[in-house]
Structure 1
Amino acid sequence: MITDWLKKNGYLIEKEDNQLGKKVTLTTEKGQAVGITHSLQTSMSGTAYYRIEYDKAGQEFVLQNLSEILEAQHSE
């Protein structure tokens, strides 16, 4: 629900990654400005994936918008 809200409001974007051969979720400049970043990781089995990371400011941003996120979820 949080990821969906962040996508709808331009903080995250979903796009096709040709190297990984699948859709991935990445941060936008808007997301990075509030403390949300992404990094390419490799799982223990050797699979590459993007991890979304929230620094302290990013976590506070989500908490400050939690009521709006919940309202958006209930209005769908």
Structure 2
Amino acid sequence: MSVKMSLNQQAYLNINRRKSHVFVKFLNLILIFFVYSRVNLILSKWFFNWNIRTFKNKSMKLLEMIEIIFNIQDKI
């Protein structure tokens, strides 16, 4: 048994789906930054003499991770 929806209902559902998709991406971003900052804190307690180059490398890796996650979510 299939339920037919009007065009308005379909448009409303699509808009809600898009909003929730953006919200999930935003939550993932916050989660990544939180986890990354925790890991960085722990690592910096272990290694006090971190130089700028390693920090740049870490931040570039973080940006790459974020990009990969956004690409995966766009494909879903």
TM-score (norm 2): 0.28
- Find the structure with the greater CA-based Rg: 2
Greater relative contact order, per chain length (Cα 8 Å cut-off, separation 6+): 2
More strand by share: 1
Q: Which has the higher helix share?
A: 2
